Amino acid sequence: MGGLFDIDLLTNRLNELKEESLLPDFYNDIKRSSEVNIEISSIEKKIKTYQDLIARIDADLELIELVEESEIEELKRIIETLELETFLSGKYDSLNCFLEIHAGAGGTESCDWSDMLLRMYERFCEKNGYKYEEISSQPGEEAGLKSVMIKINGLNAFGYLKNESGVHRLVRISPFDSNARRHTSFASVNVTPEFKKVDSVEVLEKDLKIDVFHSSGAGGQSVNTSNSAVRITHIPSKIVVSVQNERSQLKNKEIAMEILKSKLYAIELEKHESAINGFKKSDSINFGSQIRSYVLEPYKLVKDNRTNYENSSPDKILNGEIMEMLEFNLKNIE
């Protein structure tokens, strides 16, 4: 360390003084012996100070290593969480949301793919503490779902899921093809915030077509069934909202109107706030329009076309382990 703690120099000097103190006539010169003993004591104190310092540094290094193993990762996680919160600071990010899935071209294949996507988002909710309920669904003719809407409740539900809006593409060996050929399927996802105040949205009765129909089935995490499902079509915008998760026709109509107003409000926001992400729904649900591809054959890969995020474990993604992907896209989609 040099200077005061040139330990080699001090040690050599200490050895010299101790050798001198062992001479037979050492104490004949009281003054000299006193000086030597004082210097020996001083050097020994300096050496002890050095040794104590080294021991403290070693202890601190061990503590640092311990912190790195047990706490640094936690601190990094906290910092990353704080960073992520800056990407979830949009005006509507904290809101609940409605997530819709619509099967695209491909018949039974696409209906089954819609069902797979629904399961992915439901598993995501379950893994991350979000509550969901099925608002409406239309089954496919042979399997799967032609369309489905779920409501997702929880802090930042819209913020996390807003970038899921778009066309999702699946490539796999079809379980419905007796020749085991590879098929490509498409489904669109649309995510809309549940706006807390939509009273400002004016909906004229003459612009609505209201149908009542019978349906039954599980409602996401509930077991509600309905015999009074309501479908509202807003003629000017061509928006269709179906609700069937309540037993009461009146209640289903109220929910459908609130969803319709949220959608109309989102359209108005699109016109005035182009910076809002996640509102637009692609009109084309087919090849070349996808935001993300899920490839199960001939190799395994999930790739987001907007950010080039890749994951070689599509089975995990389809089982709801999508938080990493959602966070990556939040940070990289402008």
Mean pLDDT of 196-200: 72
Question: Nearest CA to 290 among 303, 299, 279, 277?
Answer: 303
The alpha carbon of 159 is separated from its chain's Cα centroid by a whole number of angstroms, namely 10
| pLDDT band, residue 49 (cuts 50/70/90) | confident
pLDDT at 128 over 90: yes
pLDDT tens for 225-278 read 445 889 999 999 999 999 987 788 888 988 888 899 888 888 888 776 654 444
- What is the SS3 assignment for 32? helix
Which of the four CATH numbers 3.30.460.10, 3.30.70.1660, 3.30.470.10, 3.30.70.2610 does domain 95-332 have? 3.30.70.1660
pTM for this predicted structure: 0.69
pLDDT at 4 over 70: no
The per-residue b/e assignment along 88-103, b for 16 or more CB within 10 angstroms, e otherwise, is bebebbebbbbbbbbb
Residue appearing with tokens 């809006």: 165
Q: Are 255 and 275 in contact (CB under 8 A)?
A: no
**Alpha-carbon distance 258 to 249, whole Å?**
14
**Alpha-carbon distance 229 to 219, whole Å?**
13
Burial of 211 (0-12, 13-18, 19+ CB in 10 A): exposed
Domain ranges of the chain: 3-86, 95-332
- What is the SS3 assignment for 305? coil
pLDDT tens for 92-125 read 888 899 999 999 977 899 999 999 999 999 999 9
**Alpha-carbon distance 151 to 112, whole Å?**
20
**Alpha-carbon distance 259 to 192, whole Å?**
9
Burial of 109 (0-12, 13-18, 19+ CB in 10 A): buried
Mean pLDDT of 159-170: 95
